[in-house]
Every structure is written in structure tokens, then in C-alpha cells.
Amino acid sequence: MEIRHGQKLISNGKKKAIIEFVLQNYTIYVFQGILSQFDILVKYNKDSGRLRTPKHIHWVVDALMKMQANEKLTKEFLKDIKECWNRAKPLSNNDYEALKKLIIDGEKHINLGKYDKLNEYGEYDVDFLYVLMELLSTQEKTNRPDAYMFGSIIDELLEEDFDIFKIVSTAGFNGRR
């Protein structure tokens, strides 16, 4: 993974990425968000394609695909990701150095190489999922320290006899009725 200073522009060229994480097939961009002083806006693209805002449903579908192929290893990965979520703290700064440190320090707690076999299944590599989930966990806790959706979805996926409809419903929830 290459970590570089932000170059990507959005909002008609008015907003520049703070940091970019360049992975094998994807690049993850972090921009200043609007919900709070240290809010971050996470976007990604594949092979320089259109920018997408990650939704919980994206990684959930990928996890379900990985689970179909190797349930035991996928659940071990999700347990490690849940620990990332448990450790996540609200940002006290969202500059390049703080975001770089967040990802590098988090890598000390997870052996991503252990999960390389999962790269054969689904759309996303485990390196991409780790960076994305670390950022999403931190974003969620920065904007709402009592947030629980991300953690709840992982808990549901880790259940022995999970309810796929409940998981998809929770992951697809957008706050509107």
C-alpha cells in the first residue's frame, strides 16, 4: 500500500483529499467532512474510475461472499475488524499525519497476511477492507461516540446462525423512513 498526500479534487475542484491510500486495485481518498470539525468523508474508486462513497452494504456483501468460500477464516478476519472498531476513538485531528498514523498504528493489531486467501473471493482485498473499515469506524465514532451500527453489523455476521435479511436491512439503512 502506498500512502500519499491528497491530490484528488471533488466538489467542482473546491475540496482536495487530505490523504490517499493506494492499494492494488483501489484508491481510498479521505476528505474533510461537514458533520463536525474533525469529520472525514471517505471515498474510493477502482482503477481511476468513478468515485464512490462506501456504504456498509458494500463490505457486507463482500464479507458474505468470502464467508461462502471460507467461513472460518472470514469470521476470524471479522473478529479482528471488530477489535479495530472497539479500539476506534474520535479523531482529535484529521490532517495527513493523524490519518496516516491511524492506519499504520492499526496495522500493528492485525496480521493482514493471515487473511490473504480471502482475496480470492468477493470484490475487495483484505488490505482494502482493513483501511476502509478502520476509517469508517473512526468516522462513525468521531461524529457520534455512542455509535453502534458498524459494530452491530459485525456482531450479526459473527453469529452462528445469522439472519441474512436482518444484516442486509441494517447495512442498507440510510437513516430515512
pLDDT of residue 174: 57
Task: Report pTM.
Answer: 0.91
Q: How far apart are CA 24 and CA 135, in angstroms?
A: 18
* Tens digit of each residue's pLDDT (9 = 90 or more) over 101-112: 999 999 999 999
Alpha-carbon torsion, ordered 71, 160, 141, 108, to 10 deg: -40
Extract the C-alpha cell encoding 99.
490519518
Extract the C-alpha cell encoding 35.
458533520
pLDDT of residue 177: 33
Where is 43: in which H helix or E strand?
strand 40-46
Residue where the block lists cell 464479507: 63
Distances from the Cα of 59 to the Cα of 2, 35, 74, 101, angstroms: 21, 23, 12, 23
Exposed, middle or buried: residue 153 (CB in 10 Å: 0-12, 13-18, 19+)? buried
Strand partners, 5: 19
Residue 176 pLDDT > 60, yes or no? no
Mean pLDDT of 144-168: 86
Render 63-79 in DSSP notation, one character per residue: HHHHHHH-HHHHHHHHH
* Tens digit of each residue's pLDDT (9 = 90 or more) over 37-57: 999 999 999 998 999 999 889
Mean pLDDT of 84-99: 95
- Per the CB < 8 A criterion, the answer to whether 118 and 77 are in contact is yes
pLDDT of residue 168: 82
